[in-house]
Amino acid sequence: MISTRRSLMTIEMPQDRPDGFGGFVRSYVAGPSVWARIVPLKHLYAREAEQSELQVSHRVTIRFRTDIDLTKRLRLGPRVFALRGYFDPDGRRVNLIVWCKEIRS
């Protein structure tokens, strides 16, 4: 499985600064780099009653980490991926599957 992780992605962490009007401006700073396997796919999940929506365009496999959450994002060169979900596929804390949506930056 390690040999299939051929893309070096950067985990970007949010940094919020006050905007002077009671809100904040979010920017992202580069964090650790991880080797990843990225698989393009297309999946759309929507529940109309509660208006929740999950759009996924890529599945990324990385080594298991405990610091991943949905506020972070992944970068591969100029491409940016917003995290939509993640899980440990077998519960052994070896791999982490991350569902992402590629965003335009």
Tens-place pLDDT, residues 38-67: 999 876 655 655 655 667 789 999 999 999
pLDDT at 88 over 60: yes
Q: What residue ranges define each of the domains in the chain, with the CATH number in brackets?
A: 2-16+27-103 (2.40.10.270)
Can you tell me the distance from the alpha carbon of 29 to that of 93, in angstroms, rounded to the nearest whole number? Answer: 26
Query: End-to-end CA distance of the chain, in Å?
Result: 30
pLDDT for res 4: 86
pLDDT higher than 60, residue 103: yes
Residues in the chain: 105
**Residue 45: CB partners within 8 Å, gap ≥ 6?**
53, 54, 55, 56
The answer to whether 65 and 34 have CB atoms below 8 angstroms apart is yes
> 23 in helix, strand or coil?
coil
**Mean predicted confidence (pLDDT) in 74-87:** 95
